[in-house]
Amino acid sequence: MPCHEAVASVLSLQSYDLISSGDLPAYIAIRPAHFGGLWHAASPQARTATQRCLWFKKVYRLKQWQCSCTALLKKGFSIEEKGAFPHTQYSFCISGNRGYVRNQVRFIHVLFVCVQVNLNSGHMFDKDVELFVYYQDTHQPSAIVEAGETTAPPGSLMRDTVVMISLYPEFPEGVMSSLASRGEFVFVIDRSGSMGDMMHNGKGSQNRIESAKDTLLLLLKSLPVGCYFNIYGFGSDFESFFPQSVEYNQDTVDKALKRVKEMKADMGGTEILQPLKHIYSQPCYPDHPRQLFVFTDGEVFNTKEVLDLVKSHAHSHRCFSFGIGEGASAALITGMAREGSGHAQFITDTDRMQPKVMQSLRFALQPAVLNISVDWTLPDDVTVDTLSPPINVLFQGQRTLIYAQLKGESSGGSEGAVTVKYSLKDQPVANQLHFCLKPTEKTQLSIHRLAARTLIRSLEQEERSGAADVEGIRSRMVELSVQAGVSSVRAAFIAVNKDSRQTVKGPLLQRRAWTQLVESAKTEQHNINKTGKKLPVLHSSSTEIGLS
């Protein structure tokens, strides 16, 4: 959060995982986006079960800002108990000397996942506001069954019961160790002029090309001996360090490290399509699956063509993408990873770069998972419609979410099961989770809205791919958006504050803000962003954010 703006932030948080585990988060952290400080509450595990009441508080001072966290476990609750999670009060405050009012929000229900951020009218949303939540037992599979809204139309998504499945695949150790030194790693670095911009407007920021170089240097030094690698730089044109991928040894690494340190953002525009075509045309090394690592700020105009190309070669090339700097296009970065069966990361500051980079490398060293299928086992009177798109990638330790709409009635004690089957180095593997079909009631329909959002994104993808029934898809998107209150490319929501009882007058004000472009962004939108024209936005003093 920018130190020159006054921000009062009150956050109310709850993990869905707590429903099955009953554990309190090990710690909750809020990190101001452009500073290196991290504060957290003391770990509850340090407390004994005999304590009946627990307060913990930690204050972190940042120039004229003060961040504080206070938590109270009400009397009679043991933190080592499993099961029901009693009402627990958390209050989070970010305070300064800018003269605004401090507020407080409390848990109303254990399923509520809602953040309300109050900003002074002068805030221009030209910085990322980031919230980090760290949970305990994050790798435990879980299922949440949520009852629908009785007033919604019969047969609709918001009326029926919805289930969210959270799975964490575990791969056989023998398969993992056998592939530790295999692979061909091709690094594709954006060297366009925009990569010379700063990562953010805060103090101590480096430019994007320097961040990309730091990330690449870390990856190069972490590759396994015996693999192959090459490095491409692109802008209006492209070039490679070596005519073809070379074996990873001391000599080739030294040459590559020297050239990486000399790279600059001096290659003009952002034309990523041609270098990708060239890479895909090169023969692969036998028994060394090719992994692409793409670093870019995402400012391209032909996102759809790029994604289509990546998708067409996903059977032989996995793609891991890194969005560099604030405003990197989520459409391009996440799209390339999705279509290329890889993983996406966004790097906005150096302090969080290393764990993100190493996570992507660990994923790249894992074997490709093939023939993924999802099977449901339910009572005879219950049917299921899977709302999530087909799963095309699995990584060990990486959460996989599945949303499904359950139709029909079941008894309170009925159980269901979901099984994810796949092939790993020609070995069949199955991960199964059993869950109770009794839905959780009196919720804010958080699971339904997340499911609607997932389905809307799938429909948007269908529309972009040129599906036959375009009008039907658009109508379905609007229907889902209106029923669930979730925006889409075909429906938007405008907040109207009636409390002031005053007519809003005057022209729309313009603010330039970094925005994460949606995949349906047109060339005109790209050109506006590239030329630096100001984008008109409506702004208010209060924003409500749903966590997903």
Q: What is the pLDDT of residue 78?
A: 33
Provide the token pair at 524.
């005109």
Give the DSSP H or E segment for 322: strand 317-324
Classify strands 184-190 and 228-234 as parallel, antiparallel or unpaired: parallel
Mean pLDDT calculated for residue range 410-434: 84
**Least confident window among 78-87, 154-163, 384-393:** 78-87
More confidently predicted of 190 and 42: 190
Q: What is the pLDDT of residue 137?
A: 67
Mean pLDDT calculated for residue range 425-449: 85
Q: What is the pLDDT of residue 117?
A: 53
Mean pLDDT calculated for residue range 296-319: 88
pLDDT value at 22 more than 60 = no
Q: What is the pLDDT of residue 138?
A: 66
Q: What is the pLDDT of residue 119?
A: 56
pLDDT value at 384 more than 60 = yes
Q: What is the pLDDT of residue 250?
A: 92
Question: How many other C-beta atoms can be found within 10 angstroms of the C-beta atom of residue 42?
Answer: 16
Q: What is the mean pLDDT of the chain?
A: 72
Q: What is the pLDDT of residue 451?
A: 95
Question: What is the dihedral angle through the alpha carbons of 124, 126, 127, 131, rounded to the nearest 10 degrees?
Answer: 60
Q: What is the pLDDT of residue 14?
A: 35
Question: pLDDT band for position 121 (50/70/90)?
Answer: low
Provide the token pair at 453.
């959002």
**Least confident window among 154-168, 173-187, 483-497, 533-547:** 533-547
pLDDT value at 248 more than 90 = yes
Q: What is the pLDDT of residue 176?
A: 66
Q: Measure the CA–CA gap between 338 and 345, rounded to whole angstroms.
A: 12
More confidently predicted of 545 and 251: 251
142-174+369-461 classified as CATH 2.60.40: yes
181-364 classified as CATH 3.40.50.410: yes
Q: What is the pLDDT of residue 47?
A: 33
Q: What is the pLDDT of residue 542?
A: 33
Look up the pTM and report it.
0.60
pLDDT value at 98 more than 70 = no
Q: What is the pLDDT of residue 467?
A: 74
Q: Which of 247, 266, 268 is nearest to 256 (CA)?
A: 247
Question: pLDDT band for position 180 (50/70/90)?
Answer: low
Angle at 464 between CA 460 and CA 465, to 5 degrees: 115
Q: Assess contact for 129 and 2: CB atoms under 8 A.
A: no
Provide the token pair at 60.
């972190």
Q: What percent of the chain has pLDDT over 90?
A: 28
Phi and psi at 78, nearest 5°, equal -100, 130
Distances (CA, A) of 84 to 14, 107, 381: 14, 15, 30
The DSSP-derived string for 276-305 is: HHHHHHSPPPTT--EEEEEEE----S-HHH
Mean pLDDT calculated for residue range 90-119: 42
Q: What is the pLDDT of residue 495?
A: 77
pLDDT value at 30 more than 60 = no
Q: Assess contact for 275 and 190: CB atoms under 8 A.
A: no
pLDDT value at 3 more than 70 = no
Mean pLDDT calculated for residue range 252-276: 92
pLDDT value at 202 more than 90 = no
Question: How many other C-beta atoms can be found within 10 angstroms of the C-beta atom of residue 408?
Answer: 14
Helix runs in 47-199, H state only: 173-178
Provide the token pair at 518.
């949606």
Determine the residue type at 181.
Answer: S
Q: What is the pLDDT of residue 103?
A: 44
Q: What is the pLDDT of residues 273-286, one digit of tens each?
A: 999 999 999 999 88
Q: What is the pLDDT of residue 273?
A: 94
The DSSP-derived string for 62-99 is: ETTEEEEEEEEEPTT--TT--S----EEEEEEEE-SS-
pLDDT value at 109 more than 50 = no
Q: Assess contact for 431 and 395: CB atoms under 8 A.
A: no
Classify strands 228-234 and 161-167 as parallel, antiparallel or unpaired: unpaired
Q: What is the pLDDT of residue 344?
A: 92
pLDDT value at 393 more than 90 = no
Q: What is the pLDDT of residue 301?
A: 83
Q: Cα 442 to the chain's mean position, in Å?
A: 28
Which residues are within 8 A (CB) of 362 and not within 5 positions of it... i.e. 6 or more apart? Answer: none
What ranges do the domains of the chain cover?
Answer: 7-134, 142-174+369-461, 181-364
Which residues are within 8 A (CB) of 394 and not within 5 positions of it... i.e. 6 or more apart? Answer: 169, 369, 372, 400, 420, 422
Q: Which of 55, 56, 54, 107 is nearest to 77 (CA)?
A: 54
Give the DSSP H or E segment for 10: strand 7-12
Q: Assess contact for 476 and 470: CB atoms under 8 A.
A: no
Q: What is the pLDDT of residue 291?
A: 93
Provide the token pair at 105.
């929000």
Q: Assess contact for 150 and 445: CB atoms under 8 A.
A: no
Q: What is the pLDDT of residues 484-530, one digit of tens each?
A: 999 888 988 887 777 777 777 778 777 665 554 443 333 333 333 33
Question: pLDDT band for position 462 (50/70/90)?
Answer: confident
Determine the residue type at 453.
Answer: R
Q: What is the pLDDT of residue 341?
A: 87
Provide the token pair at 231.
């490095």
Mean pLDDT calculated for residue range 64-89: 35
Q: What is the pLDDT of residue 46?
A: 32
Mean pLDDT calculated for residue range 195-199: 83
Q: Measure the CA–CA gap between 83 and 435, rounded to whole angstroms.
A: 15
More confidently predicted of 104 and 368: 368
